[in-house]
Amino acid sequence: MSTNGGEQRGQASSPVSAPEGAVGAPQLNVLAQNTKDLSFENPNAPKSLGQPGQQPAINIQINVNPNQLSTTDFEIELKLEGKAEVSGTILFNFELVYAGVFRLQNIPQEQIGPIVMIECPRLLFPFAREIVADAVVHGGFPPLMLDPVDFVGLYRQKIGQSQAAPAAPGLA
């Protein structure tokens, strides 16, 4: 009887080795994740904690800041800033810088930029989203559930800005 690996029960499978001179498979590893900065302000409490008669206007800004640590390691900072207002009165504002250290191995040079600016922040975002929701709840408000982010669109926007501006250092 075969298992999912195609081997017979009771028989060990022999390891498969790569041919000599072959490059290993592309790898993306998360080495660490951490909150670098978290700020939550409720400047008009306790007045702002009452049930507002209208839905607050919420403004969110998201930025991705890469930092190359070595030939294979990158620190990616995901910065989220937000503010909720009703009739010009600030209910709350927050800033979160959530970072991860990623190791990229055996990845073609032309793919490093998109991986660093799209895939790495995509892996960090659910954790950052939870931190923001928790901070808002602990500030006395219903949780703020951030919508998924189009990191491909943000990457294309950043590429467009870097092509329009004079040569600036950074990952493109």
Q: Is the pLDDT reported for residue 113 higher than 70?
A: yes
Q: How confident is the model at residue 60 (pLDDT cuts 50, 70, 90)?
A: very high
Q: How confident is the model at residue 103 (pLDDT cuts 50, 70, 90)?
A: very high
Which whole number is the average pLDDT over 143-165? 89
Q: What is the pLDDT of residue 69?
A: 97
Average pLDDT over the chain, rounded to whole?
A: 85
Instruction: Provide the total of helices (H) and of strands (E) in the chain, helices listed first.
Output: 3, 4
Domains and CATH numbers, the chain: 27-152 (3.10.420.10)
C-alpha 96/C-alpha 77 separation (Å) is 10
Q: What is the pLDDT of residue 167?
A: 53
Which whole number is the average pLDDT over 144-167? 86
Q: How confident is the model at residue 15 (pLDDT cuts 50, 70, 90)?
A: very low
Percent of the chain with pLDDT over 70: 81
- Please report where in the chains the tokens 């998360």 appear, as a residue: 30
Contact at 8 Å (CB) between 37 and 131? no
The angle, 0 to 180 degrees and rounded to 10, between the axes of the packed helices 120-138 and 151-164 is: 110
How many Cβ atoms are within 10 Å of 23's Cβ, its own excluded?
9
Q: For 113, phi and psi rounded to 5 degrees?
A: -55, -55
Contact at 8 Å (CB) between 40 and 136? yes
